[in-house]
Structure 1
């Protein structure tokens, strides 16, 4: 194997939080064959394996990782007609930009999301009214159980809100390539689905706008919330949204609604969005804010972003334990106020909330 290999390698620089201790060994793989060989070697020797793409969704413990960290740095963007294939290590924001330049709609509102293409199906990445599950046709992955490369069609990916089969079975699949079917709408975007985006664009929900305009508007909205990476801006030393939006049953929502009235007064309506039959999604950011954790909350080296209550940030000198202490404080505060337990979106390594 002609891969780069380092011993006792720092992992913090490979994450957007810039947190976490070293790995016993770090391998950087630039081809699918190198990825598979490194995974097989770890599996054959019983060595714990940590997969790292863009590092935008990882919280690594201060003690680091005892085992092999595999950085997937494969590259490749192939566009044929409206079909797009991305290597897992491809930078997602670059891929979105390429599709917009090519005049293809479907992922333009996912501009500015940090991380690699291979992570998008795992989380079913979504923002501003789009989710990758609506355009992914299939995922090429290495199956560690059968020790072979498999092609998983969309229908078998078990996509749901910020979830998938790949996330449900994290020890089984290693994403190698992701394939999408985009739309040629003569240079126009997909129908705008998100109210905030529609307002910013000055159009109604369901309207289409020029692709570049949609992408630039989303980038401006994300930047305003500290959700576009900038080494000089500590508000972006984060994993973006740290908590997922809670999805409640009708019964749970009724209890929650009563708690809101009790705490904030009659007539205060919490955010509520349909999430399937008998289920309602509410806003984690709203819950955090109304529980007293406002923008910039905290006095230590880990604080809530000054731009968005849903982002927990490293102000430059934080440890992972500092970050987790803040996260636990927020979880406990929201539960005490509204009876809802927030769930972290980033993957934790060697630690837990």
Structure 2
């Protein structure tokens, strides 16, 4: 059967004072598709207000696109005028330079969800790019659509999920993407990608690699993501050992999906990875460096206690957090406005007054220290706009 309904747009951020309410901490702000005003210039062009880092200078022009057509129109206008373009999808995986952005920034605020549900085939759910990712996870659990419960609490929008191939606690979104509908800036037309066409990799996809000259936004602007879920209240097999231990199950076992969400939110909170306006440990872009994937020779040169995860191509993934910590950069490290999180070694945080320059200076120090100690060069995970490492 087919059904269309609005989807909650924003979760109230779980607060540090009430862990027991994590599973119910949902503030539903519902918008019927087509009921929102047309695209308009934002009153403020300060990009620090648009990112979870709370860092970034002004945009020359900042516009909010509430519908798919508005998003296409604004992208096309900037491209036709030869103007720099940044499509901002939640602002949770980006560091914007202190000088801001000398072009148009389009903030995606599109809404809407439709689902095709089959008793034997599961649910294929098409979601507009501007829907909050965590609101979708909550909605899926409520509807008994199983699959992405381990991705609870990840900030940002649905449209960014396939670009980065978001993942956490043994789950990657690539395992559930059915198709991605995009606007091709090069051909100026629609293009739809099946899962295999997306060329997913570790925090990677064709959408991330297909760049446009002089633009931080790539060739393909994501309009809608369709995900395929199984039906039921049980989670998918728990693959992450720490999460399995917290849930009291063995790795590979399944349990109630809502329990998984609640435990994942607790874990993320303990690591400062749940957005909380009063907790500066969450003023970040999440993990600042990706876990390195190295060849067998480089892996063999690492200390015996270094984590190693064999990859299908024969290479080995190791832990960036372990490398950083064992290079002497511990939780809370830093003597300025930018510091390593007191809860998670991989996160560089803004303690309240940090600039992009402060964050980059600390990131360079960490990168150089890891390279000197282990011979591995860490790669940043957030998009760097108007700045460079």
Tell me the TM-score range normalised by the shorter chain: over 0.9
Unaligned residue ranges in structure 2 (runs of 5+): 1-36, 118-122, 212-217
Query: Are residue 15 (structure 1) and residue 51 (structure 2) matched?
Result: yes
Query: Aligned equivalents of 1:282 and 1:6: distance in 2?
Result: 42
Tell me the CA shift for residue 7 of structure 1: 7.4
Query: Are residue 175 (structure 1) and residue 211 (structure 2) matched?
Result: no
Counterpart position of 1:302: 338
Secondary structure of 1:316's counterpart equals coil
Contact 2:50/2:91, CA 8 A, preserved across alignment:
yes
Match of 1:236 among 282, 285, 289: 282
Query: Are residue 154 (structure 1) and residue 200 (structure 2) matched?
Result: no
Query: Aligned equivalents of 1:252 and 1:77: distance in 2?
Result: 46
Counterpart position of 1:264: none
Query: Are residue 95 (structure 1) and residue 153 (structure 2) matched?
Result: no
Query: Aligned equivalents of 2:379 and 2:146: distance in 1?
Result: 32
CA distances 1:255-294 after superposition (whole Å, capped 9, x unpaired): 3x2xx3xxxxxxx421001121311100000000001100
Counterpart position of 1:49: 85
Secondary structure of 1:308's counterpart equals coil
Query: Aligned equivalents of 2:116 and 2:342: distance in 1?
Result: 42
Counterpart position of 2:243: 197
CA distances 1:293-342 after superposition (whole Å, capped 9, x unpaired): 00000110000000000000000011110000000000001001101000
Match of 2:319 among 262, 271, 283: 283
Counterpart position of 1:37: 73
Which structure 2 residues correspond to residues 48-197 of structure 1 after superposition, within 5 A? 48-81=84-117, 82-170=123-211, 171-184=218-231, 186-197=232-243
Query: Aligned equivalents of 1:275 and 1:293: distance in 2?
Result: 27
Secondary structure of 1:9's counterpart equals coil
Counterpart position of 1:263: none
Tell me the CA shift for residue 206 of structure 1: 1.0
CA distances 1:192-233 after superposition (whole Å, capped 9, x unpaired): 111111111111111000010011111111110000000000
Deviates more, 1:9-18 or 1:69-78: 69-78
Contact 2:124/2:178, CA 8 A, preserved across alignment:
no
Counterpart position of 2:269: 223
Q: Show structure 1 runs of 4+ deviating over 6 A.
A: none
Tell me the CA shift for residue 80 of structure 1: 3.0
Which structure 2 residues correspond to residues 245-284 of structure 1 after superposition, within 5 A? 245-255=291-301, 257=302, 260=303, 268-284=304-320
Unaligned residue ranges in structure 1 (runs of 5+): 261-267
Counterpart position of 2:357: 321
Tell me the CA shift for residue 45 of structure 1: 0.6
Query: Aligned equivalents of 1:69 and 1:231: distance in 2?
Result: 23
CA distances 1:157-198 after superposition (whole Å, capped 9, x unpaired): 0100000000001331000000010011x3100011111111
Secondary structure of 1:219's counterpart equals helix
Count how many residue pairs are aligned between Structure 1 and Structure 2: 342
Tell me the CA shift for residue 8 of structure 1: 7.0
- TM-score (structure 2 length as normaliser): 0.86
Query: Aligned equivalents of 2:104 and 2:300: distance in 1?
Result: 47
Query: Aligned equivalents of 1:304 and 1:232: distance in 2?
Result: 17
- TM-score (structure 1 length as normaliser): 0.95
Tell me the CA shift for residue 246 of structure 1: 0.3
